Structures are given as structure tokens and as C-alpha cells.
């Protein structure tokens, strides 16, 4: 068995996931840089100081998930941390991409009254079903680890408490796909945490805050270093840390 702790970060070839990978590698983890395109994962792994290795992983592809779990078992024999970070906010098409559509126009097209059901399905496939499938595939390895941690990278916009508060500033993001996908991810976090509460595996959800990445065409106001802070803290929780929580780097977020 590999003698360093091993962390898998999904969608780690760029953005907040790459920063989470960098920080876990800096703390001595062997980091698996999950990437649906192996070449992009390898390029990203080269930018990480420490032991970082690209791992082909498309969270919407059952074969890819099974192959990734098998590869981890065969090559390292352990997994201590799983960060479910990969997500999409939309399905880019030639007519609807940041190359030719403003952020505001993109948001308008996702309103509940007009958002495409096909896009809702695609977003849930990645942000929700992908998390369930990857977590289930990695659980046998995580159960063997002495103190495993699962971090689901969620978003405050998925908070029903926030969304029903008229003073919530991000209530203007009325996406019928991304926003409900994060509400579902929160529910999934609680479901896994409840089932695993008698084990040594802690399962928590983190919001990175509005961070400048490809996801929002770099409109976010926080750096990836700031965005990675809470997911990394939850990945490193000690034995007295909580499970089944939702937080950002200011503290608890209401569900």
C-alpha cells in the first residue's frame, strides 16, 4: 500500500479543483488530479509542487469511474480524501457559449420559465448523479482508510433558506439547472453523512464563494486561493471534526 495519504479531486485540471489539488499536495498528500481529458490532467499535474498524478475520470461515465477506482486500488491501494469538485453550470453550444454570449444572457436563458429540460438533465448528470456514482465507486477504498473525508463542493445558491430570503443578493441567479443541482447535492451530502455517521468517514459540503473561473467566465470576485480554503479545511478535518455540514469560510450556511 502507498505510504502517503491519497486524495482524489474530481475536475482538478483547472479552477478551484486545481487549487485544492495544489494545497493538498503541499500538505503531503499524493494527489490524483481527476480530469475527463487525461492530457489536460497531465498538464495540470505538472503545475503542482509535490506528488500529483493525473487520473482520467469523467464523472458522467460509469466505465471511466470504474476504471479510475480500479486504477487507484491497483496502483496505490488506498484513498483517504475524495473531493467531489467537478461541475458544470451549463451545456455550452455554439450559439450559447461565453465566446458569443454575455454572462447576463446566459443566466436569462436558464430561468425556470425557459431553461431547457435537456440542459437540466445534463447538469444533474454531472453535478448530482456524478457525485453519487463517484462516491459509491470510491467508498470501498475510503472505508479502508483510517480517517477518510469526503468533501462535496457545493454552492450557497443551493441553499433553500437563502433562496427564500428576499434580501439574498444571489437570488437573481434563477437557474433551473445549476441552482437546484446544488440543492440536490446538499441533500446527497446529508444522506451519505447519515449513512456513514457510525464510520470514520466524514462527509461535508463546502461553498467556495463567487470565484473567478471558467464556470462564470471569470466574473467571480474571489481568487481560487480563497475559493479552495473551505474545501481544503474540510478535507483536513481532524477526528473531532463534524460530519453532515454545509459551510463556507465564514462558517455554517443554512440548508
| Binding-site ranges for ligand NAP (CB under 6 A) | 10-11, 13-17, 36-37, 40, 57-60, 85-88, 126, 153, 155, 207-208, 210-211, 213-216, 220
Nearer to ligand NAP, 28 or 46 (CB): 46
**Secondary structure class of 82 (helix, strand, coil):** strand
Q: Compute the least distance from the CB of residue 27 to ligand NAP, in Å.
A: 20
178 is catalytic: yes
Nearer to ligand NAP, 8 or 148 (CB): 8
Nearer to ligand NAP, 16 or 142 (CB): 16
Nearer to ligand NAP, 126 or 198 (CB): 126
**Integer CA distances (angstroms), 168 to 97, 125, 176, 207, 229, in order:** 27, 27, 17, 15, 23
Closest CA to 35 of 59, 56, 7: 56
Q: Compute the least distance from the CB of residue 59 to ligand NAP, in Å.
A: 4
DSSP string, 182-238: HHHHHHHHHHHHHHTTTSS-EEEEE---SB-SGGGTT--SB-HHHHHHHHHHHHT--
Nearer to ligand NAP, 70 or 197 (CB): 70
Cα–Cα distance, 17 to 174 (Å, whole number): 25
Q: Compute the least distance from the CB of residue 34 to ligand NAP, in Å.
A: 6
- Helix ranges, the chain (H): 15-26, 38-46, 62-75, 103-109, 117-124, 130-144, 160-163, 178-195, 224-235
Closest CA to 213 of 33, 18, 42: 18
Q: Compute the least distance from the CB of residue 154 to ligand NAP, in Å.
A: 7
| Annotated active-site residue in 29, 178, 192, 246 | 178
Q: Compute the least distance from the CB of residue 81 to ligand NAP, in Å.
A: 16
Contact, 173 vs 89, CB < 8 A? Answer: no
Indicate which residues carry an active-site annotation.
178
Amino acid at each position: 500500500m502507498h505510504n502517503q495519504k491519497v486524495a482524489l479531486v474530481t475536475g482538478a485540471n483547472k479552477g478551484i479543483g486545481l487549487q485544492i489539488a495544489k494545497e493538498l499536495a503541499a500538505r503531503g498528500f499524493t494527489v490524483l488530479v481527476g480530469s475527463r481529458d487525461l492530457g489536460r490532467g497531465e498538464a495540470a499535474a505538472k503545475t503542482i509542487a509535490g506528488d500529483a498524478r493525473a487520473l482520467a475520470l469523467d464523472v458522467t461515465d460509469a466505465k471511466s469511474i470504474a476504471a479510475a477506482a480500479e486504477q487507484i486500488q491497483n496502483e496505490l491501494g488506498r484513498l483517504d480524501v475524495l473531493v467531489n469538485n467537478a461541475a458544470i453550470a451549463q451545456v455550452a453550444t455554439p450559439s450559447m457559449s461565453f465566446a458569443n454570449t454575455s454572462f447576463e444572457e446566459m443566466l436569462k436563458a436558464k430561468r425556470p420559465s425557459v431553461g431547457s429540460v435537456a440542459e437540466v438533465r445534463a447538469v444533474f448528470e454531472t453535478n448530482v448523479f456524478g457525485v453519487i456514482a463517484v462516491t459509491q465507486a470510491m467508498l470501498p477504498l475510503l472505508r479502508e482508510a483510517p480517517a477518510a473525508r469526503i468533501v462535496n463542493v457545493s454552492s450557497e445558491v443551493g441553499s433553500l433558506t437563502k433562496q427564500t430570503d428576499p434580501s439574498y443578493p444571489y437570488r437573481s441567479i434563477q437557474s433551473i439547472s445549476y441552482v437546484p443541482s446544488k440543492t440536490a447535492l446538499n441533500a446527497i451530502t446529508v444522506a451519505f453523512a447519515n449513512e456513514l455517521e457510525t464510520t470514520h468517514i466524514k462527509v461535508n459540503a463546502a461553498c467556495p464563494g463567487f470565484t473567478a473561473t471558467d464556470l462564470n467566465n471569470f466574473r467571480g470576485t474571489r481568487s481560487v486561493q480563497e475559493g479552495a480554503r473551505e474545501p481544503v479545511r474540510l478535507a483536513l478535518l481532524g477526528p473531532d471534526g463534524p460530519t453532515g455540514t454545509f459551510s463556507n469560510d465564514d462558517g455554517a450556511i443554512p440548508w
